[in-house]
Amino acid sequence: MDAMSSLSASVPYPRATEICRWTIADFGDLRGLRADLRATEDVTAAGPDVVDRVTVVANELATNALRHGLPPTVVRLLRDGDRLIIDVADHDREGEPRIAENRPLGGGGLGLQLTRRFAIDVGWYATELTKHVWASFPS
Amino acid sequence: MADSYTIGQERAADGSATLLHLGGELDITARDVLGETLRAALDDGDVVIDLDAVTFIDSEALGALVAAYHIARARPAGFRVVNARGVVARVLKVSGALELFGG
């Protein structure tokens, strides 16, 4: 595993409700995803700090899924109590998402490092068809 | 759809450096053009990167800045990143890039 460690494998927030979802076909769709998130009431109501966090993390996770996963990439915004959740799914069940520890800046894995710093929690789980990476935020 | 970002370029008034004025949202769609622009600018000497008009930056575009920083260090050539604001400043700080670039 060299300097890699697994994110926790668990199905989070089974009772979470979906606020919105986006199907992302290519990198050109990321801009619209960010604009939509910044305009979503559940996100804006949480304040500018959370808007920044959610936008950065959703963009990083979707970019990662487009680069390394199998299409389609589906981004969902969920609410579970006082937490907002970004859940990004792709159809590559084999690829286990990993986060690099102690890599020099620019050595890769920067996206997931930003995700870990901007989210409260980060994890992943797989279903029969899909792999999901999720991140949670205060609201 | 038009690009989400802009890249403007000029020589400093005293000719000492290339000023790159970046704007808009810098994501993976900007990474390669940004990297090529930075490398070409470093061929001419020192570079100052103005982020005043940048409203978003992701890890991919930031990676292009970090790669250019390492090229500049190896030359050596001057490399300054200025005027990061809002979420851009936050991403630079959290990632360690702000410290790497010298504040």
The interface residues of chain B toward chain A in range 53-92, judged by CB-CB distance below 8 A, are: 56, 58-60, 62-63, 66-67, 70, 86-87, 90-91
Using CB atoms, pick whichever of A31, A60, A105 lies closest to residue B25.
Answer: A31
User: Would you say domain B5-101 falls under CATH 3.90.190.20?
Assistant: no
Sketch the domain layout of chain B as residue ranges: 5-101
pLDDT level of residue A1 (50, 70, 90 thresholds) = very low
**How far is Cα B34 from Cα B83, in angstroms, rounded to an integer?**
17
Query: Model pTM?
Result: 0.90
CATH numbers and ranges of domains, chain A: 4-138 (3.30.565.10)
Query: Which residue is closest to B5 within chain A, CA to CA?
Result: A31
Environment class of B39 (CB within 10 Å of its CB; exposed 0-12, middle 13-18, buried 19+): middle
> pLDDT digit string (tens) for A44-70?
999 999 999 999 999 999 999 998 888
- Three-class secondary structure of residue B17 per DSSP: strand
Q: Does A59 touch chain B (CB under 8 A)?
A: yes
Q: What is the mean pLDDT of each run of 10 residues along chain B (103 residues)?
A: 90 90 98 98 96 98 97 96 97 94 78
> Among residues A77, A105, A113, A85, which one has the least CA distance to residue A5?
A113
Compute the mean pLDDT over every residue in chain A, rounded to the nearest whole number. 86
Query: Is 90 exceeded by the pLDDT of residue A32?
Result: yes
> Among residues B83, B61, B87, which one has the least CA distance to residue A106?
B61
Q: Do A63 and B87 touch (CB under 8 A)?
A: no
How remote is the C-alpha of A30 from its chain's centroid? Answer: 13
The pLDDT, as a whole number, for residue A21 is 98
Q: Does A118 touch chain B (CB under 8 A)?
A: yes
Q: Is the ipTM of this complex over 0.85?
A: yes
Q: Retrieve residue A82's tokens.
A: 């006082």
**How far is Cα B42 from Cα B69, in angstroms, rounded to an integer?**
10
The pLDDT, as a whole number, for residue A104 is 55
The pLDDT, as a whole number, for residue A103 is 54
What length does chain A have? 139
Chain A residues whose CB is inside 8 A of the B62 CB are 110
> pLDDT digit string (tens) for A71-104?
899 999 999 999 999 999 998 877 766 544 445 5
Backbone angles phi, psi at B93, to 5 degrees: -70, -50
Query: Is 70 exceeded by the pLDDT of residue A108?
Result: no
**How far is Cα B75 from Cα B59, in angstroms, rounded to an integer?**
24
